[in-house]
A and B are shown apart, each in its own frame.
Chain A
Amino acid sequence: MRCLRHAWLSTWLVVAPRVRPAAAQAVSIHLFQFEPKAIEVPVGTLVVWDNGDDIEHTVTSGNNEQTDGRFGGTLAGKGTRFTMPFEEPGDYSYFCDRHHFMRGEIRVTPSGKAGN
């Protein structure tokens, strides 16, 4: 029985696809602010926004109150969440389309080069 278990484990190790679990980075929304305001993450990171305010906010990509359409989501109220995987290196700006003074930045670095 023990040998069978080992055989199963060996088989699984050989044939199982190498799935790299996505790292996650949390951004909280509290007191009408994105916290942290700026993050740096490696490519493949799942960024998770959690709304702690009892009001609707959005995560809208763009700058100067102008959306660029790269990503976006609505967080309807307290306890709601929006997630977005970042698969391409680059700089991403975003803001809340209901409260334009709320702004955030994401720097996505090539794998293994994130500073945060």
Chain B
Amino acid sequence: MRLSLLPTALLVGGLTLTAPEARAQMSGDHAMPAATMSSGDLRVALNNLLAEHAQLGLTATAAALGGRSAEFKAAAGALDANSVQLSQAIGTVYGDGAGQAFLALWRKHIGFIVDYATGVAKKDQKMQDKAVNDLLAYTKDFGAFLSSANPNLPTDVVAELV
């Protein structure tokens, strides 16, 4: 789960550096309804969303490994809803297009982790290796995205941390 947790800190740090007074119009449990959100409130909202992401990711992968398909389906659905909320938060700071790009990238890493868990469950080494390679490539993409969002976060440093 290292992959999921490290971007959490970087993402929150990156956003707060560049969005001192972000206007957020998020929807959902952690959102403030259509209001101006201070950088502190945005940080708290993102922390909550990313903590939820980590928890749901663990639940989904545990269910996948245990072969509990109904539980996996529910967790995966919640995880995707969480991803959408995260992308909306990104969109409030960097624009809707960036939010959509973030969502597409973010969903990819979740898919790769699910692939890895599925590979472990099936004892399929080839599937595991591919998932690991995909995740390594993803770290560069995600690093570049964060670096574009905030030049204080060099791509290579972020990719290495992920």
Q: B141, A102: Cβ atoms under 8 Å?
A: no
Number of A residues, CB within 8 Å of B: 13
Asked whether A55 and B141 contact (CB < 8 A) given A30-B148, A31-B94, A31-B148, the answer is: yes
Q: Find residues 139-162 in chain B having any chain A CB closer than 8 Å to their own CB.
A: 140-141, 143-145, 147-149, 155
User: A54 CA to B158 CA in the complex, in Å?
Assistant: 12
Residues on B with C-beta less than 8 A from A113 are: none
Q: A33, B144: Cβ atoms under 8 Å?
A: no
- Which of B94, B101, B144 is in CB contact (< 8 Å) with A102? B101
B101, B147, B149, B155: residue with the most chain A Cβ atoms closer than 10 Å: B101
Q: How large is the interface on B (under 10, 10 to 19, 20 to 34, 35 or more residues)?
A: 10 to 19
Q: B148, A54: Cβ atoms under 8 Å?
A: yes
- Which of A31, A37, A55, A102 is in CB contact (< 8 Å) with B149? A31
* Chain B residues packing against A (C-beta within 8 Å): 94, 97-98, 100-101, 104-105, 140-141, 143-145, 147-149, 155
* Chain A residues packing against B (C-beta within 8 Å): 30-33, 35, 37, 52-55, 99, 101-102
Q: Which residue of A lies closest to B154 (CB)?
A: A54
Residues on B with C-beta less than 8 A from A54 are: 143-144, 147-148, 155
Residues on A with C-beta less than 8 A from B100 are: 101
B152 to chain A, nearest CB (A): 13
Q: A101, B101: Cβ atoms under 8 Å?
A: yes
B86 to chain A, nearest CB (A): 15
Q: A32, B140: Cβ atoms under 8 Å?
A: no
Q: In the complex, given contacts A54-B148, A55-B155, A102-B101, what are 7 additional A-B residue pairs having Cβ atoms less than 8 angstroms apart?
A: A31-B145, A31-B149, A52-B148, A54-B155, A55-B141, A101-B101, A101-B104
Q: Which residue of A lies closest to B155 (CB)?
A: A54
A26 to chain B, nearest CB (A): 17
